[in-house]
Structure formats: C-alpha cells, structure tokens
Amino acid sequence: MSAPAGLATPGTGDTARPPALVLDDVRVVRGGRTVWSQGTLAVPAGAIVGVIGPNGAGKTTLFQVALGLLPIAAGRVEVLGAVPRRGDRRIGYVPQNYTAALGDAIRCRDLVTLGVTGHRFGLRRTTAAERARVDEALRRVGALEYADRRMSQLSGGQQQRVAIAQAIVDDAELLLLDEPLANLDLRNQQEIVTLLGELRRERAVTIMVVAHDLNPLLPVLTDAVYLLDGHPHHDPIGEVVQEDLLTHLYGTTVRVVRTAQGDLFTRATGPDPA
Amino acid sequence: MTPLAVTVQFQDDWWSVLQTDFMRNALIGGSLVAVAAGLLGYFVITRSNAFAAHALAHIGFPGATGAILVGAPITLGLAVFCVGGGLLIGLLGRRVAEREIATGTVLAFATGLGVLFGSLASANASTTTSVLFGNLLAVSDDELVVFALFTAGVALALAVIARPLVFASVDPAVAEARGVPVRALGVAFVVLLALTITMAVQVVGTLLLFGLVVTPAATALRLTARPGRVAAIAVAIALLSVWTGLVLAAMVDLPPSFFVVTVSVLVWACVLVATRGPGGVHRGHGHAGGHTHDAVPTTGSATAL
C-alpha cells in the first residue's frame, strides 16, 4: 500500500517498497490523557529516522503503537504495509534502559537466541541453522568475542551491541531503538551510530531511533519524526535541523552550527526561546 | 535442663531407621519436592519472585490450619491457599514494585487468618510447628501420590513453556513485543510455584522454604547462566540436601528440616567463596576500554538536547 494521498514523500527513502510506518490522523490516548494527536506522516522504507521531542512527548508511545502494544484511539496506522500486530517478526525492538534491566542470569548468546526461538513453546532443540544465525548477528555487531559472557559482565556499549544483535537476528525490516545511545561515552556512541549506518546499507532496513541528543546521530540520519506541540511530524533531516524549529521543539534557544569540516551540530544556548 | 550433649546423641541404629517405611516415604517425597523446586528456582530468581515464593509459603499457613479446622487434608488446604494467594498477588501487582506491596498485604492477611484458624481449630502446638518447620517424617502414602502428580505436572508444564518463560522472565519488554503471552505465562508460573510450595512446605516448612526453592538455584547461577544447566545443578543440589539431611537426621535423631536447609546453605556458601575473587566466574567486568558510564565527558562537542 502507498502513503495517504496528499503527503509529501521525502526524497531519502526507497519508494518501491511500502513506507515503513504510516500514520493517518492518529490520536493516542493513555490513561485518559491524549499523548499526541493528528498524527499524519509516512516514514519511507530504508530511512534512518531520529525520533525527537521533549520528555513526555510520546516518543516511546509511538514505538508501542508501531509494535501493536498500544491500541490507537483514532485514525489508521500501517507498519511495513500492514496493521500493527504484536509479534510481527519483521520488527526488531530494543526498549529504553533495556540492558540495565537484564541481570546476571543470561548469556549474551542465549539472549540473542531468544530473538529467534523465544516465542516457541515445547522442547525442540535449537537447530544448527538457528545457531549459525545467532553467531552471524553477534559477529555483525562485533559481539562474538564476548558472546559466552553474561550480560551483566559487559560494558554499556557491549550490552547495546548485543541488544542490537537480538533485534537483527531475525532479519528485521524495521528496527525500533529506544535511546540506544543513553549512558554511552562518545566513542561508543559513534561506534553504535556507525553500525546503524552500515546495517542500513547492507540490509536495506529502516531504522527509527529515539534520541535526546541529535548530534551523534546526525551523520547517518536521513529523516526525523519530531513531536511538536502534541503532534508528530515527519521531514527529511535537513528540514528539521533548523534553529527556529528546534528552538520551538525544545523550548530553549537552539543554534545550528556547521563546522569547517561540514559537520552539523546543534547547541542549546539559552533558557528562553527568543 | 538437659545438657546438649545428651540431647544430640549418635544413633547406632541409624541404618535400620533409614529402612523404615516413614524414612522411605520421606526420601521419595523429599526427592520429588527437590526436583520440582530445583526446576523452578531459575525462574523464581530471574523473575524477582523470591519474596513472593517466601510469602506463598506463609500464605499456605491458614490453608493448613483451616484444613485442620474443617477436617480436610492439609495438602488440599495448602494447595488452595497457595494457588489462590499466588493468583491474587499476580492480579494485584503487575510490576515488581507493586507486587512487593501486594505480596506483603496478602501475606499479612493470610498470616492473620492462619492464627485465627489455628486458634479456632485448637490445633496443638506440634501441628502448628510441623506447618511452620515441615515434617518430612510424616509424609503419608496418600501424600506421596499427590507429590508425584504435582511434580510430574510441574515438569511437564515446564517442558512446554520453559523457553517462552525464560524469554518473558529475563527480557519481558522484548518478549511482549515479540508476541510472547507474558501475562499468561506469569500466571501459569505462579500456579506451578504454588503447587511446588504446597509440597515443599510439608518437607521443610514455611519458614525454611528458601533453602530448597531459592538457594540451590542461586548456587547454580553462580556457576552458569545457562537456564538448562542451572535447573540441572539446582535439582542436584536440592536432592543432595534432602538425602544428606535425612541421613544426618537419622544419625542424631533430630528434625531433618534443619539438616536439609543446612546442607543447601553450606553448598551455597562454598560456591560463593569459590567463585569470588579475581579468578571467579562471576561478576567479572567488561573488556578493558569498553567501560562506558563515566569514561569520557559527553559535553565536548555539543550540549545534549
């Protein structure tokens, strides 16, 4: 299916495939409160999308709608050309604060394996083909060397890699990553960002990333979904990294700086919007 | 007052004591409980259910005294209250924090009921004591049949749900997104746990239950994080505890509960010491250079938005 009529199709994505995410006048209510409304947008397949907005704007809620975990109050949603449903194996998901919640009791390799077999009832053993896929996913994110250790024994950056391995092990077409860069140092942030760019090129996967700080992601982002004044919007990244838009979005003065090397940065410079 | 040395006396006839019918029942019953408890231990720990497991044992107390009051089998009373209490806790508390509060509240009320029933039934002190501390030597033939059915049921149910239950226990957010019925599995697990605790209470009592359900699995988890191996090692430790405990109890003619729990705790302590320190398999830290939280300031290039 194609995007709803009247939507601008951003030039960054793959127009031969259905959009990764389509919202058509969607309103989301949680606990009696409207989180956001009038959501009308189409995220093209193959994009890397930053999902930005102030705290509590409903970024994680957007993911839950896409995952079929939260029914919408009004409108229509399509994910990868179909109505969202729980257990869609084409979506890989890394929740917020994910790795902090994982304890002592699981090895990295077993956690990734659950991404393939974890929904299956009964005693069937993991097949050699499935084990090979787990190894391949761990290798792809650079986690193979510590695959046999417990999650709790890894650093934050290593844990995030394993989490991404679990999300891609089933050949997901859409990755939903909620704050994957939180609590990572600069080097690990950049390595994860580089990995996301590589995954997109190699697998033609669509990646949506919730982020508080756009800057580390700017080198790879093609699009952004931003939650402004209670409504989600979508634009190519170049149209989002604008001083007046970001200033309005975050409620504090934001400057956009281009370095001598051509890299874009955003800076918060003052407490009040001009 | 009798000197301790007179109270604790080596029994020369311990081998013939071991061959009596009540000892045979104790061995079989204790082994069945050890298997079920060992299998469930991994999940009790990964689901942060340790408090609930402990509480369920206490919630069984009014079940036992209530059964005495109305003249029903104690196992039935225990099972009804444990399963009912487990379901109530599961329904009231969905998140861990809520569950702690729900567990504590249900626990308090159940213990109150237990005192009331015990008083109404004018249950004597030794009946109450056997509920609180277990009486492995009083396992009857009928109870053995019930234990065998419970353990078989727990093992069969786990064979079916083990894999999704591992997923739902260690990684609930992703498991739910992946279509695993996380809530339903949680309810199923609580029922299995309640059945196991119903048995375990009669072996080690409500107060010592940790020694069979939690401690063996905690010991195993220090040695390996692979769920299947944790279950196997936990079952082995629980069996060892029950068998050794019974033999020691026969040797000195003292309650087996004490020895069962002591063996379990001793194994745990030994493994704890052995896996500690620089060469330990546990709690090692990440690769050099991989540490993240405070290594490099993140304000070098830009202010976080």
Residues 178 through 197 of chain A touching chain B, CB cutoff 8 Å:
183-189
pLDDT: which is higher, B91 or A9: B91
- B175 with A114: Cβ contact below 8 A: yes
Chain A residue with the nearest C-alpha to that of B45: A105
B177: pLDDT confidence band, cut at 50, 70 and 90?
Answer: very high
pLDDT at site B125: 64
Site from B44, B299, B303 to mutate, A interface, most A CB atoms within 10 angstroms: B303
Nearest by CB to residue A215, choosing from B45, B292, B301, is B301
Strands A174-178 and A91-94: parallel
DSSP-derived letter for residue B8 is: S
Are the CB atoms for A214 and A221 separated by under 8 Å? yes
Following DSSP, what letter does each residue of chain A receive, concatenated? --PPTT----TTSBTTSPPSEEEEEEEEEETTEEEEEEEEEEEPBT-EEEEE-STTSSHHHHHHHHTTSS--SEEEEEETTB---TT-TTEEEE-TTHHHH--TT-BHHHHHHHHHHTT--S-PPPPHHHHHHHHHHHHHTT-GGGTTSBGGGS-HHHHHHHHHHHHHTT--SEEEEESTTTT--HHHHHHHHHHHHHHHHHH--EEEEE-S--GGGTTT--EEEEEETTEEEEEEHHHHS-HHHHHHHHTSEEEEEE-TTS-EEEEEEESS--
CA B135 to CA B200: how far, in whole Å? 10
- For the stretch A188-216, pLDDT in tens is 999 999 999 999 999 889 999 998 888 88
- For the stretch A47-86, pLDDT in tens is 999 999 888 889 999 999 999 999 999 999 999 999 999 9
Angle at CA of residue B66, ends B64 and B70, nearest 5°: 120
Structural tokens at position A225: 């979904």
pLDDT at site B95: 66
Lowest mean pLDDT among A82-91, A152-161, A249-258, B82-91: A249-258
Nearest alpha-carbon partner for A272 in A250, A245, A241 = A250
Please check whether residue A237 touches B, CB under 8 A: no
pLDDT at site A271: 62
Given strand A74-79, what is the order of strands in its sheet?
Answer: A33-43, A21-30, A74-79
CA A254 to CA A244: how far, in whole Å? 8
pLDDT at site A166: 94
Q: Is pLDDT above 60 for B299?
A: no
Q: Is pLDDT above 70 for A224?
A: yes
pLDDT at site B56: 85
pLDDT at site B238: 94
**How far A123 CA sits from the closest chain B CA (Å)?**
6
Structural tokens at position A54: 């102030």
Please check whether residue A213 touches B, CB under 8 A: yes
Structural tokens at position B287: 């690769």
Please check whether residue A250 touches B, CB under 8 A: yes
Mean pLDDT (chain A) is 86
Burial class (CB in 10 A: 0-12, 13-18, 19+), B86: buried
Q: Is pLDDT above 80 for A9?
A: no
CA distances from B10 to B5, B247, B253, B264, B266 (A): 10, 12, 8, 22, 22
CA B60 to CA A148: how far, in whole Å? 40
Residue A223 has φ and ψ, to the nearest 5°, of -140, 170
- For the stretch A146-182, pLDDT in tens is 999 999 888 889 999 999 999 999 989 999 999 999 8
Nearest by CB to residue A268, choosing from B45, B166, B305, is B305
- A250 with B302: Cβ contact below 8 A: no
Nearest alpha-carbon partner for B136 in B203, B194, B188, B182 = B203
pLDDT at site B286: 36
Nearest alpha-carbon partner for B289 in A152, A97, A157 = A157
Q: Is pLDDT above 50 for B280?
A: no
Residues 26 through 85 of chain A touching chain B, CB cutoff 8 Å:
52, 67, 69
Lowest mean pLDDT among A237-251, B85-99, B136-150, B285-299: B285-299
pLDDT: which is higher, A27 or B256: A27
CA A39 to CA A74: how far, in whole Å? 10
pLDDT at site A242: 80
CA B236 to CA B252: how far, in whole Å? 24
Are the CB atoms for A204 and A14 separated by under 8 Å? yes
Q: What's the rounded mean pLDDT across residues A213-239?
A: 89
Task: Tell me the β-bridge partners of A52.
Answer: A226
Residue B106 has φ and ψ, to the nearest 5°, of -60, -40
Residue A113 exposure: Cα atoms within 13 Å on the Cβ side: 21
Residues of B in contact with A67 (CB under 8 A): 177
Residue B159: its H or E element: helix B141-170
Site from A59, A70, A106, A130 to mutate, B interface, most B CB atoms within 10 angstroms: A106
Q: What's the rounded mean pLDDT across residues A88-115?
A: 86
Residues of B in contact with A115 (CB under 8 A): 174, 178
pLDDT at site B301: 34
Mean pLDDT (chain B) is 81
Please check whether residue A150 touches B, CB under 8 A: yes
pTM above 0.90, yes or no: no
Q: Is pLDDT above 90 for B97?
A: no
Q: Is pLDDT above 60 for B55?
A: yes
Q: What's the rounded mean pLDDT across residues B123-152?
A: 79
- B174 with A119: Cβ contact below 8 A: no
CA distances from B27 to A191, B73, B213, B245 (A): 58, 21, 17, 10
pLDDT at site B124: 63
With pLDDT > 90 as the criterion, what percentage of chain A qualifies? 58
Angle at CA of residue A129, ends A125 and A134, nearest 5°: 90
Q: What's the rounded mean pLDDT across residues B203-224?
A: 86
Structural tokens at position A150: 């417990």
B209: pLDDT confidence band, cut at 50, 70 and 90?
Answer: confident
